[in-house]
């Protein structure tokens, strides 16, 4: 077992966040469906994206890696012969389920124990309405799908996860007549759909949107050379660290990219931090922070680190609008509340977020992150506010989205110490 202790520190320096996990997933799936050879540069090589790479290979795509550059020969996909293991990646599970509905042979998709708790029902209901045979464990993985998918008019509940809509969108150009996708309920995490349709267009697809209805032509995809941009959701950790403990410059960002999580810069400004953006770099310098109310519905991945940002701000803050947080790698509302309170904060969970009562200082302590990478990294940044260290087991879980997180943060002053413990076998 590995235990890590974070001791805060004075934040100073420049850091480049890793490439976007969301963009890497989509680029690999798109390149696998596209006819011809695509080059995907600056891939994030993490546990989740490697699960997507393995899934694409299982469908017959040829993928070779040279560093973080993937050469993908796509366009001739087939049903995987064996069950596909999506590991802990909800994005892999959900997008792959849509693509596998194209095949006449049944395909089973499974994952680890955490992934088997992630809902799949709304996506399966939509696919069944298109003629796809679907089996699941009461709407949970493992799932089995068998096409053909006849496309047409699809109705999908958008209140649980935008990944269901992304799955239908990415699949639709492969259907002979395309599809019309109508989203019911409150659409959550909407900026991710802007990323999806933007990237579909780069690979030759035609998707248009009018309100909550997407129309997608059955054009297929064409090969495209794509460079994955840096990830704003990963950049949020050093940016918040700078706001809490000094100053930090994050570089390599694309201000024109439709990533929703770039709103972290606006949130930092709203909380009182000094934010300067120049080209591909953003600099944040700490000031006295103030409480604020923030709608997290479109940017749920920022919820844990924004809670850390505001936990010592003067006054009461409210984060709201994101009930889908209950269905992430963990129940992120519950795990975030427990994390902050274990360190001496004062946070109350709500159905769609939390209420943060600002305290003067955190005390530190041990955090149970339940294998959730965003909880682990948020707790590490929270150590800047603590009188004592923040300890956690399994720091390796950060590799899901930010490989080498402790080492990268150490370069800008976040102190940490790793201890590897060997447990003797019971007698």
Q: What is the DSSP string of 178-195?
A: -EEEEEESPPPSTHHHHH
How many angstroms separate the CA atoms of 250 and 232, rounded?
Answer: 10
- 413, two tokens: 């002053």
Report yes or no: 22 and 399 within 8 Å, Cβ to Cβ.
no
Report yes or no: 251 and 16 within 8 Å, Cβ to Cβ.
yes
- 128, two tokens: 């069944």
Residue-wise pLDDT tens digits, 33-86 = 999 999 999 999 999 999 999 999 999 999 999 999 999 999 999 999 999 999
Residue-wise pLDDT tens digits, 291-344 = 999 999 989 999 999 999 999 999 999 999 999 888 776 789 999 999 999 999
How many angstroms separate the CA atoms of 129 and 153, rounded?
Answer: 9
Q: Which residues are catalytically annotated?
A: 301
Pairing of strands 226-227, 36-41: parallel
Pairing of strands 247-251, 14-15: parallel
Domain locations in the chain? 2-18+230-420, 21-227
Scanning 85-133, the segments in alpha helix (DSSP H) are: 90-100, 121-129
Entry pTM: 0.85
What's the topology of domain 2-18+230-420? UDP-n-acetylglucosamine1-carboxyvinyl-transferase; Chain (3.65.10)
Of residues 259, 272, 358, the one with CA closest to residue 302: 259
Report yes or no: 345 and 378 within 8 Å, Cβ to Cβ.
no
Of residues 336, 343, 357, the one with CA closest to residue 388: 343
Report the alpha-carbon angle 371-135-104, nearest 5.
Answer: 115
Q: How far is CA 416 from the centre of its chain?
A: 25
pLDDT, residue 304, reads 97
CATH class of 21-227: alpha beta
pLDDT, residue 125, reads 96
Domains 2-18+230-420 and 21-227 in one fold: yes
Report yes or no: 11 and 246 within 8 Å, Cβ to Cβ.
yes
Report yes or no: 297 and 188 within 8 Å, Cβ to Cβ.
yes
Q: Is 121 helix (H, G, I), strand (E, B) or coil?
A: helix
Instruction: Collect the ranges in the chain with pLDDT lower than 50.
Output: 423-427
The residue ranges of DSSP E strands in 307-403, in sequence order, are: 316-320, 347-350, 353-357, 365-366, 390-393
404 contact partners, CB below 8 Å, separation of at least 6: none
């Amino acid at each position: 077992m590995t235990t890590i202790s974070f001791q805060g520190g004075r934040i100073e320096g420049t850091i480049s966040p890793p490439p976007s996990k969301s963009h890497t997933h989509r680029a690999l799936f798109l390149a696998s469906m596209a006819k011809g050879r695509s080059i995907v540069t600056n891939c994030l090589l993490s546990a989740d994206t490697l699960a997507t790479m393995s899934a694409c290979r299982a469908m017959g795509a040829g993928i070779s890696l040279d560093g973080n550059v993937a050469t993908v020969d796509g366009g001739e996909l087939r049903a995987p012969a064996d069950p596909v293991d999506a590991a802990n990646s909800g994005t892999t599970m959900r997008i792959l389920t849509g693509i596998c509905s194209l095949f006449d042979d049944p395909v089973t998709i499974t994952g680890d124990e955490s992934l088997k708790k992630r809902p799949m029902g709304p996506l399966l209901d939509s696919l069944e309405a298109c003629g796809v045979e679907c089996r699941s464990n009461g709407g949970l993985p493992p799932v089995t799908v068998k096409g053909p998918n006849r496309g047409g008019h699809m109705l999908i509940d958008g209140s649980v996860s935008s990944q269901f809509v992304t799955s239908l969108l990415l699949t639709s150009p492969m259907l002979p007549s395309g599809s019309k996708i109508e989203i019911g309920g409150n659409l959550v995490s909407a900026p991710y759909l802007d990323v999806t349709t933007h990237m579909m267009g780069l690979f030759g697809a035609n998707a248009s949107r009018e309100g909550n209805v997407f129309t997608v032509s059955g054009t297929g995809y064409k090969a495209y050379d794509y460079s994955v941009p840096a990830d704003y959701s990963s950049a949020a950790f050093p940016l918040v660290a700078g706001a809490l403990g000094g100053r930090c410059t994050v570089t390599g960002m694309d201000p024109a990219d439709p990533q929703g999580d770039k709103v972290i810069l606006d949130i930092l400004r709203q909380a009182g931090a000094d934010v300067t953006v120049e080209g591909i770099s953003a600099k944040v310098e700490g000031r006295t922070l103030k409480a604020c109310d923030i709608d997290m519905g479109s940017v749920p991945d920022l919820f844990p680190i924004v809670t850390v940002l505001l936990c010592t701000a003067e006054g009461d803050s409210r984060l709201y609008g994101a009930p889908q947080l209950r269905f992430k790698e963990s129940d992120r509302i519950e795990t975030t509340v427990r994390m902050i309170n274990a360190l001496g904060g004062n946070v109350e969970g709500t159905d769609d977020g939390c209420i943060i009562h600002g305290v003067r200082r955190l005390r530190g302590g041990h955090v149970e992150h339940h294998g959730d990478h965003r909880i682990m990294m948020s707790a590490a940044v929270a150590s800047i506010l603590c009188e004592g260290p923040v300890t956690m087991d399994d720091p390796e879980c950060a590799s899901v989205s930010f490989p080498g997180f402790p080492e990268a943060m150490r370069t800008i002053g976040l102190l940490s110490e790793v201890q590897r413990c060997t447990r003797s076998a019971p007698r």
